[in-house]
Structure 1
Amino acid sequence: MGRYILKRLWHAVYVMVGISMISFFFIHLSGDPVMLMLPADASHQEIEELRERLGFNDPIPVQYLRFASNAVRGDFGESLYYHVSAMELILERLPASLELAVAAMVIALSVAVPIGIVSAVRRNSLLDMGSMLGALLGLSMPHFWLGIMLILLFSVKLGWLPTSGRGSWAHLVMPSLALGMGLMAMFARLTRSVMLEVLGQDYVRTARAKGLKERLVIGKHALKNALIPLVTVAGMQFGFLIGGTVIIETVFAWPGVGRLVVQAIFNRDYPLVQACVLVLAVIFVVVNLLVDLLYVHLDPQISYLEEK
């Protein structure tokens, strides 16, 4: 088990180094941020002085090594646009993104998994067809459209929930529901598909032949093995939700990291973009590491096979 964890951690280091190098070099292809920081009538001397002060005259490899040496110590530099620490801005926005992602994931899993199980157990029934039709509709609805419809219904017409912003639990309901609807549909279809495959396995038929109650067969034997693909997809989607919910954050004016990244890209704020990319990459790697550890809990043979 320990060897398995160390191997995964070592792979995570390679991933982080690769992401930092790729993102750093590609970000510097987007243009010169100095031209955005100075007025249009700035002289050539003023441009060169600012570029020299910011270190942009150095070769790209030298700039990357300087950035990497500071990043290891947790220093990602100062935002060129906001003129404060890049990490300070991220830590200010990160709780909002985590809050929204966790809420959307909890809503999606708590509804989708029972629906998927019931649909698989009662295959081809009216309940099965109705739930899969609902899942298809959930996958077909764009997030931004659903968010706007929720605002029109619950805020404008009924007046039950606030239209935007972040504060109380009421502000979280609509954005998490709009974000979780697509996940709910995806997880329901995946759970049904995997459960149908697992229910046809020999060990499930053997458990039923022994006279075990259907509840034990489904919950103890079938569901545990069916959770592995679901855990994989849920882990990847959670990592995406942290920084990939720009549209929902824009619709509901949610102060998350996604909007911060997009604004930094438009402003050519190199330090802030690089810091956001690395922090999101760390979160994604950590989530995937936790998923790997959960694999071992669900199926101990995985650790044994990896070590062999």
Structure 2
Amino acid sequence: MARFFLRRLRHTVFVLFAISLISFFFIHLSGDPVMLMLPADASAEQIEAMRERLGFDDPLHVQYLRFLGGVLTGDLGNSLYYHVPVMELVLDRLPASLELALAAMAVALLVAIPVGVLSAVKRGSLIDFGSMLGALFGLSMPHFWLGIMMMLLFSVTLGWLPTSGRGTLAHLVMPATALGVSLMAMFARLTRSVMLEVLSLDYVRTARAKGLSEALVIGQHAFKNALIPIVTVAGMEFGFLLGGTVVIETVFGWPGLGRLVVEAIFNRDYPLVQASVLVLAMIFVLVNLAVDLIYGCLDPQIRVFDEGEMK
């Protein structure tokens, strides 16, 4: 297991290095960063002064080495709009985005997995038809529309939940549900599909032939192997959630990192945009590293095959 972990960690380090390259160069590929930050009527003196102040008059490789040193030390410069260190702003907003993404993922998985398993076991029944029809509706509803409808019902009409903000569990219910419904539908369909495939395999039929109870066959034999593709998709979707919660954060006034990035783009706050993208990308890579390690725990054959390749 240690060798499996070290191999995956080595790949992660290379990916993180590539991310630092991409996050540094993407702004330069889109044009002169100084021209993006200054108004169109800025004078040549203002442009040159800004370029010198930000170090953009240095060669590109010198700028990258300076940026890489900042990444390693946690110093990515100051925000041009807020005039405070950008990492301070990012780390202040990041917990809110993590909280919303984790809550949405938990809502989706806790509902979708039992529904998907039950739908596969009762294939062709009314339960199967109803759950898949509900999943289809869930996939069809946009996040922002569902969020607004929930707000009108539970906040304006019934007065049960607050319309916006963050601080209590009541503030989290509607944005997490609005964000998690489409995930819930997708995971329910995925779980059903994977379970149907696993339930048709020889070892499941053998377990049933031995006289094991249906609950034991499904829970201990079938579901464990069905978890591998579910974990894969969950890891990818969690990364996408962190960067894709902008609309929900805007609808519910949630003070997350997505809103901060949008504000930074409108304010032409280049260092803040760059730091936010870098942090989100790093979290995505680390989540995928965790998924790889979970693979090794769920299926030892993956770990053995990986170590065999390494030899």
What's the CA shift string for 1:36-56, capped at 9, x where partnerless? Answer: 766776542233122211112
The 1:61/1:267 distance shift into structure 2, 3 A limit, reads farther
The 1:199/1:56 distance shift into structure 2, 3 A limit, reads same
User: 3-state DSSP class of the match of 1:28?
Assistant: helix
Amino acid at match of 1:168: T
User: 3-state DSSP class of the match of 1:124?
Assistant: coil
CA distance in 1 between partners of 2:190 and 2:38 (Å): 52
Whether the aligned pair in 1 keeps the contact of 2:104 and 2:180 (CA below 8 Å) is yes
Q: How does 1:46-125 map to 2 (within 5 A)?
A: 46-125=46-125
Question: Offset of 1:64 from its aligned partner?
Answer: 1.3
Q: Normalising by structure 2, report the TM-score.
A: 0.95
User: 3-state DSSP class of the match of 1:165?
Assistant: coil
Question: Offset of 1:281 from its aligned partner?
Answer: 1.6
Amino acid at match of 2:171: H
Structure 1: tracts of 5 or more residues without a match: none
Q: Which residue of 2 aligns with 1:188?
A: 188
Amino acid at match of 1:85: P
Whether the aligned pair in 1 keeps the contact of 2:120 and 2:196 (CA below 8 Å) is yes
What's the CA shift string for 1:114-153, capped at 9, x where partnerless? Answer: 0000000000000000000000000010001101100111
User: 3-state DSSP class of the match of 2:161?
Assistant: coil
CA distance in 2 between partners of 1:28 and 1:152 (Å): 44
Q: How does 1:88-237 map to 2 (within 5 A)?
A: 88-237=88-237
CA distance in 2 between partners of 1:255 and 1:90 (Å): 11
Amino acid at match of 1:22: I
The 1:240/1:39 distance shift into structure 2, 3 A limit, reads closer
The 1:114/1:47 distance shift into structure 2, 3 A limit, reads same
Q: Which residue of 2 aligns with 1:271?
A: 271
The 1:39/1:240 distance shift into structure 2, 3 A limit, reads closer
Identity of aligned residues (%): 75
Question: Offset of 1:29 from its aligned partner?
Answer: 3.5
User: 3-state DSSP class of the match of 1:171?
Assistant: helix
Amino acid at match of 1:71: V
The 1:58/1:187 distance shift into structure 2, 3 A limit, reads same
The 1:209/1:40 distance shift into structure 2, 3 A limit, reads closer
Structure 1 range deviating more: 7-16 or 27-36: 27-36
Q: Which residue of 2 aligns with 1:249?
A: 249
Amino acid at match of 1:103: A
Question: Offset of 1:231 from its aligned partner?
Answer: 0.4
Amino acid at match of 2:282: V
Q: Which residue of 2 aligns with 1:8?
A: 8
Q: How does 1:278-293 map to 2 (within 5 A)?
A: 278-293=278-293
CA distance in 1 between partners of 2:27 and 2:33 (Å): 11
CA distance in 1 between partners of 2:40 and 2:79 (Å): 21
Question: Offset of 1:264 from its aligned partner?
Answer: 1.9
CA distance in 2 between partners of 1:275 and 1:38 (Å): 19
Q: Which residue of 2 aligns with 1:239?
A: 239
Amino acid at match of 2:136: L
Question: Offset of 1:32 from its aligned partner?
Answer: 4.5
What's the CA shift string for 1:149-183, capped at 9, x where partnerless? Answer: 00111111111111111111111000000000000
User: 3-state DSSP class of the match of 1:218?
Assistant: helix
The 1:171/1:241 distance shift into structure 2, 3 A limit, reads same
What's the CA shift string for 1:237-258, capped at 9, x where partnerless? Answer: 1111122211111111111111
Amino acid at match of 2:58: D
Whether the aligned pair in 1 keeps the contact of 2:56 and 2:63 (CA below 8 Å) is yes
Q: Normalising by structure 1, report the TM-score.
A: 0.96
Question: Offset of 1:30 from its aligned partner?
Answer: 3.8
For this pair of structures, how many residues does the alignment match?
308
CA distance in 1 between partners of 2:305 and 2:165 (Å): 48
User: 3-state DSSP class of the match of 2:26?
Assistant: helix
